[in-house]
């Protein structure tokens, strides 16, 4: 990673303890604006740091000033700064290194996936079970077709291994869910387009919990394994159209099972992420 000298960085000194701008810039503006006190202090701190990263004023590898100095510049408490940094770390924008301080992260597929996953899990009312299902239909059917065209022998071996483990785990709720999601991830990897794998990874936690819940619908593990085997066979044969159709059939059955699980667990303590508003749509 290329480091920037203090003359180049219109933000933080790479090796110092203070947060200073280039002298010419510092005479006309401050990097951070003092925040007026409100109930959204953490949000405002997050927003300012995000804007500086987006504008390139904070670059990958740049080090933030110590917590006390950030609090002074923002005009907020250290607790507010701490919460803002924690949120930005969770979203992959910052990294905390003991002994080195807080660093601006380099963009990566993993950080993007974590950010989208956090967005989907944040309790947003506009996201519901049906919308995630809709995303899966578009994404995973395309994945199956591309995987049939691009899979390697290593990709096929990975799928075979997962199918074997899935069969062994048919009586274990959590292992079954783990290998179910792993199979879909292996199909995405076989597209050799990291963006498809990234998108699926962003909803992996939701899918994992869904599968744990659908385990209670009789016959679910056996049906899932049967459909996965069908998808695998078409990918192995290199038949893109048939692979897409096999995945479509699988998702139709999976969605039906999810609705049955929602009805089964309606009014119970077991919750289904992103599906809270779907109880009135189930049979």
Please list, in sequence order, all residues whose beta carbon lies within 8 angstroms of the beta carbon of residue 60, skipping any fewer than 6 positions away: 1, 104, 105, 106, 107
Q: In the chain, at which residue ranges do the beta strands (DSSP E only) sit?
A: 94-97, 101-104
Q: How far apart are CA 206 and CA 243, in angstroms?
A: 24
Q: How far apart are CA 171 and CA 167, in angstroms?
A: 9
pLDDT at 151 over 80: yes
At residue 216, the pLDDT reads 92
DSSP bridge partners of 63: 103
pLDDT at 22 over 50: no
pLDDT at 29 over 50: no
Q: What is the mean pLDDT of residues 174-181?
A: 93
60, 66 contact by CB (below 8 A): no
* Residue 271 DSSP class: -
* Residue 279 DSSP class: G
* Residue 32 DSSP class: S
- Rounded to the nearest integer, the mean pLDDT of the chain is 79
Same fold, 23-107 and 124-281: no
In the chain, domain spans: 23-107, 124-281
Is the domain spanning 23-107 CATH 3.40.50.150? The answer is no
Is the domain spanning 124-281 CATH 1.10.132.10? The answer is no
The band of 119, judged by pLDDT with boundaries at 50, 70 and 90, is low
Range scoring the smallest mean pLDDT among 49-58, 227-236, 252-261: 49-58
Distance of CA 180 to the CA centre of its chain: 18
Phi, psi of 95 (to 5 degrees): -130, 140
Q: How far apart are CA 253 and CA 241, in angstroms?
A: 19
Instruction: Give the residue, 7 or 274, on which the prediction is more confident.
Output: 274
pLDDT at 109 over 80: no
Q: How far apart are CA 200 and CA 139, in angstroms?
A: 8
Phi, psi of 165 (to 5 degrees): -65, -35
* Residue 166 DSSP class: H
At residue 126, the pLDDT reads 45
pLDDT at 89 over 70: yes
Structure tokens at 54: 């987006």
Q: How far apart are CA 54 and CA 100, in angstroms?
A: 23
């Amino acid at each position: 990673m290329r480091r920037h000298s203090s003359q180049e960085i219109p933000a933080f000194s790479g090796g110092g303890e203070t947060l200073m701008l280039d002298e010419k810039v510092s005479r006309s503006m401050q990097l951070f604006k003092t925040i007026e006190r409100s109930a959204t202090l953490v949000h405002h701190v997050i927003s300012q740091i995000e804007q500086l990263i987006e504008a390139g004023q904070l670059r990958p590898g740049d080090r933030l000033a110590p917590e006390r100095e950030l609090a002074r510049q923002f005009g907020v408490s250290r607790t507010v700064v701490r919460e803002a940094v924690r949120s930005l770390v969770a979203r992959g924008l910052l990294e905390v290194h003991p002994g080195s301080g807080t660093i601006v992260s380099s963009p990566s597929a993993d950080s993007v996936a974590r950010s989208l996953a956090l967005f989907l899990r944040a309790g947003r009312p506009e996201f519901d079970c049906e919308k995630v299902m809709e995303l899966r239909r578009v994404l995973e059917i395309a994945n199956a077709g591309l995987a049939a065209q691009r899979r390697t022998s290593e990709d096929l071996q990975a799928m075979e291994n997962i199918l074997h483990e899935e069969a062994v785990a048919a009586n274990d709720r959590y292992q079954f869910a783990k290998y179910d999601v792993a199979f879909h991830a292996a199909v995405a990897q076989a597209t050799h387009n990291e963006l498809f794998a990234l998108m699926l990874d962003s909803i992996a936690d939701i899918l994992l919990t869904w599968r744990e819940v659908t385990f209670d619908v009789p016959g679910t593990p056996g049906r899932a394994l049967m459909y996965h085997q069908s998808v695998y066979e078409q990918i192995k044969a290199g038949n893109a159209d048939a692979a897409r159709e096999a995945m479509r059939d699988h998702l139709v059955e999976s969605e039906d099972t999810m609705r049955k699980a929602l009805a089964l667990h309606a009014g119970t303590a077991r919750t289904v992420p992103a599906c809270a508003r779907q109880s009135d749509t189930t049979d």
